[in-house]
Amino acid sequence: METDSSPNILWLCTDQQRHDTIHALGNGLIRTPHVDRLVEQGVAFTQTYCQSPVCTPSRASFLTGRYPRTTRCRQNGQRIPADEITVSRMFSDAGYHCGLAGKLHLSSCSDGKVESRIEDGYHDFRWSHHPQPDWPENAYTQWLNSKGQTWDKLYAGPSTGYVKEGVPAEFHQTTWCAEMAIDFIRSNQGRPWFFSFNCFDPHHPFDPPAKYLANYDPDDMPLPKVQKGELDSKTTFQQLDAQWAHNNPGEFHTGAMTDDDRRQVTAAYYAMCELIDDQVGRVMRTLDETGQRDNTIVIFMSDHGEMLGDHGLYFKGPHFYDATVRVPLVISWPRCFQSNLRVTGLTELVDLVPTLLEACGLEIPSRVQGRSLVPHLTGQADPQQHRDHVFSEYYNSWTHKNAYGTMLRTVTEKITVYHGSDQGELYDLQADPDEFENLWDRADHQALKADLIRRCFDASVFGMDPDPPRLGPF
């Protein structure tokens, strides 16, 4: 793709946001006017899937354009290998000034350790993995302190079972991310820049500001999608998580929730998404006010989804329901990309790196495994076609021990293979789009199951590292 300048990149990445949380794309209960405007001004990829339903492997994947098995960053708590090259490094090497505010999570930062960094290309790095003041180096905590505030006092609001009134909006981490983005955008006019806005919301706990929580009446919220008796055909992982989220007794007691509890959680989750939307609006206004909107590619997406009570589950992997692996993705560049276009073809987050490189006239390295979306963004491709299938992986990544799963999804079927066990999931998405009836053990579906297992294995093999290049016949 030929361009007459180097466009800026504004990458808006939320954490754990479901695909169905945008008003303009079908959710009539949620308020997202600013993301709606992005949808109108850009291209919405409505069938986009992450490459792992957990933070670190997903982020390492979409920031390198490579699959989790290839980055070798497969679990929360691992450090991305130093020889991996992130998209921010690629743009820094191309002369861009790169910045970040919020979460990165390409390395462990538990137990008070600050996340270690590889050569990631960020010149302006304002790190805040999550809002809690667990590290003196938390830039958000430092910002609060500069305003005479402490997180502990601001977070002292009432709690009602599974929902809590969180930090007031003006002192919220999402607001801080927007403040940092606004400062960066204003300070870097006149040179190409790349900025990552990485808020922690709407990741659990479900704790929006009281002002936003008041916007959503729990009585108006839908109940999660659950079919009576469905757990009987599901995996052991799901049966455990239906009692305690992430199989972590003493934390989020899923099995004890009432319908009112579930509606309150959904209301809180929507409120968190609305706060994000308002801050996106502030950042977008800054682009307009500084005259940079037409020369800025804007991406809005999330690293993975949230079960939100569907199938009796909360949080994320090792589950591969669309609630966890399907994510929002909107890309906008008024000067060069289509507007108000919906692409329904299957898309992966691994496709973002080659898309940005091609859009900015940069070479796509041979190690990158994604497929550029530029033909769709410029209206040169069939919006109903991009990939034959999408692939996602989970390798003992979080609280469940020995949970190794790979998922292959086509337009009409989905299979999840849990390796080292005889368990799995198979869904007919035409007859059962909500994934209630697991056909894994059904005698009349064994031929389809065998074919999809083969295709899933093929996807796994073909996802191996394309580098180093072959230099000769021997």
pLDDT value of position 76: 81
Tokens linked to 406: 């790979």
Q: 83: closest CA among 395, 369, 465, 470? A: 465
Task: State the average pLDDT over residues 193-213.
Answer: 98
The pLDDT of residue 3 is above 70: no
Q: What is the mean pLDDT of residues 225-241?
A: 93
Q: How confident is the model at residue 248 (pLDDT cuts 50, 70, 90)?
A: confident
Model pLDDT, residue 4: 56
pTM assigned to the model: 0.96
Beta partners for 163?
160, 206
Q: How confident is the model at residue 1 (pLDDT cuts 50, 70, 90)?
A: low
Would residue 344 count as lying in a domain?
A: yes
433 in a structural domain: no
Q: What is the pLDDT of residues 58-95, one digit of tens each?
A: 999 999 999 999 999 888 878 899 999 999 999 999 99
Does the pLDDT of residue 29 top 90, yes or no? yes
Residue 175 lies in a domain: yes
| pLDDT exceeds cutoff 70 at 397 | no
Residues in the chain: 474
Q: Domain for residue 468, yes or no?
A: no
Is the pLDDT score of 100 beyond 70?
A: yes
Q: Is there a contact between 416 and 425 (Cβ–Cβ < 8 Å)? A: yes
Residue 398 domain-assigned? no
In a domain, 228, yes or no: yes
Peptide bond before residue 218 is cis, with ω within 30 degrees of 0: no
pLDDT beyond 80 at 400: no
**CA distance linking residue 223 with residue 218, whole number of Å:** 10
Q: Is position 243 within any domain? A: yes
Residue 298: both structure tokens together: 């804007």
Helix (H, G, I), strand (E, B) or coil at 459: helix
Q: At what angle do helices 55-64 and 352-359 cross, to 10 degrees?
A: 30
Token pair belonging to 94? 């191309």
299: CB partners within 8 A, 6+ apart: 9, 10, 11, 12, 13, 329, 330, 331, 352
| CA torsion through residues 122, 172, 256, 229, sign | negative
What token pair was written down for 326?
Answer: 């399907």
Counting the structural domains of the chain, the total is 1
23-32, 109-118, 373-382, 440-449, range with the lowest pLDDT: 109-118
DSSP state of 116: P
Distance CA 20, CA 44 (A): 12
Cβ pair 278, 258 in contact under 8 A: no
The pLDDT of residue 118: 83
Tell me how far the alpha carbon of residue 112 is from its chain's centroid.
24
Phi first, then psi, for residue 439 (nearest 5°) are -95, 10
pLDDT in tens, 420-450: 999 999 999 999 999 999 999 999 999 999 9
The verdict on residue 334 lying in a domain is yes
CATH number reported for the structural domain that contains residue 335 in this entry: 3.40.720.10
Q: H/E element holding 356?
A: helix 352-359
**Average pLDDT over the chain, rounded to whole?**
95
Q: State the Cα–Cα distance between residues 446 and 182, nearest whole angstrom.
A: 55
Quote the domain boundaries for residue 334.
8-388
Q: pLDDT by residue (tens digit) across 323-365?
A: 999 999 999 999 999 999 999 999 999 999 999 999 999 999 9
Q: Round to whole Å and give the CA distance between 112 and 179.
A: 25
